[in-house]
Amino acid sequence: MSSAKMKVEMDFGEKEFPMSHEDFQRIAGLAGRYTGIVLGDHKQDMVYGRIARRVRKLNLNDFSSYLDYLEANIDEELSNFINVITTNLTSFFRENHHFEYLQKTVLTELKRKNSATKRLRIWSAGCSKGMEPYSISMTLLKSGIPSDWDVKLLATDLDPEVLETAREAVYSATEVDGLEERTIKNYFQRGSGGKDVKVKDKVRQFIHFKRLNLLETWPMTGPFDFIFCRNVVIYFDKPTQKVLFDRYADLLDVGGYLFIGHSENLHGISDRFENMGNTIYRKIR
Ligand SMILES: C[S@@+](CC[C@H](N)C(=O)[O-])C[C@H]1O[C@@H](n2cnc3c(N)ncnc32)[C@H](O)[C@@H]1O
């Protein structure tokens, strides 16, 4: 056995393509630079499985050839790289307590507070395949926001592939299993074979999907009434999170709400929010 092959087997066991530690470091460097996502050594198996898909698809022999290809063709290949690196897991009414709080507290308050402007500005940052902004939109409809209000819900993600799914608004019927029958009836139409559901136009009407990297400059000036950024920053390091939450605070009205993911918190990251419990925060300064 050649020493190069032996090294691969020692490091990673028998795998379809060789991936050296140096390859992994290069992947982690590119992921950090382009997405802010931190890939620790414990992510090597996950990274192997995901990047191997691209190596196979491009008929390459190993990871280092893929990385050379990626760097030489960054404009074409970057979105595929981002798509395999990011975790897009999401679902309708995920962490349902957020939608209950939104309906009972936040929207009740905003209906009063914004009654003169009749305006609502909302951002779903890291919206993945669209289930989060659609769930927000359904909550707006359930809350009886008057139809003459000017409501805009910006939904952004880094990954163009998930945004395509989000814009199409067609999902497997299994994705709505477990939702209340009333919700399914009011806000989805069933496809002819019964296998798919499509989000109704009245739910889609408020939403504008846009590609946006949270690490880059943002074209929006705000202010937003509330922002959802859930299950996105878990992959970022603390300094990146600090900058990001500061930028969210800048774009929120005082009293505006920020919803974050179940394993995230602002402790030691931002003092511009008060904790309302259940990973819900309110801007205080
Ligand atoms: C696990 S999903 C969360 C989806 C949804 N917010 C939820 O909680 O169900 C994380 C999303 O963040 C996006 N993302 C990761 N890094 C990003 C970045 N730097 N800028 C914008 N979006 C990013 C990913 O593409 C992915 O769709």
Residues 85-98: tens digit of each pLDDT: 988 999 999 999 99
What burial class does residue 94 get, using C-beta atoms within 10 Å of its C-beta: 0-12 exposed, 13-18 middle, 19+ buried?
middle
CA 232–ligand 1 middle distance (angstroms): 5
Domains plus CATH for the chain?
A: 3-85 (1.10.155.10), 96-170+200-283 (3.40.50.150)
- Going by alpha carbons, the residue nearest to atom 2 of ligand 1 is 88
User: Hey, which residues are catalytic here?
Assistant: 50, 157
The string of pLDDT tens digits covering residues 182-226 is 999 999 999 888 899 999 999 999 999 999 999 999 999 999 999
pLDDT in the model for residue 7: 38
CA 115–ligand 1 middle distance (angstroms): 32
Q: The pTM is what?
A: 0.90
* Mean confidence (pLDDT) of the chain: 93
Ligand 1 close to Cβ of residue 35 (< 6 A): yes
Place of tokens 């032996």: 6
For ligand 1, pick from 209, 232, 237 the residue to mutate: most ligand atoms within 8 Å of CB: 232
Place of tokens 């897009």: 88
Arithmetic mean of pLDDT, 20-25? 95
Closest ligand 1 atom to 36 CA: 19
Between CA 186 and CA 64 the distance in angstroms is 51
CA 234–ligand 1 middle distance (angstroms): 10
Between CA 127 and CA 164 the distance in angstroms is 12
Neighbours of 3 (CB within 10 A): 7
- Going by alpha carbons, the residue nearest to atom 19 of ligand 1 is 35
The string of pLDDT tens digits covering residues 102-142 is 999 999 999 999 999 999 999 999 999 999 999 999 999 99
- Does residue 166 have a pLDDT over 50? yes
pLDDT in the model for residue 14: 61
Ligand 1 close to Cβ of residue 132 (< 6 A): yes
pLDDT in the model for residue 38: 86
CA 213–ligand 1 middle distance (angstroms): 10
Place of tokens 């919700």: 183
- Does residue 9 have a pLDDT over 50? no
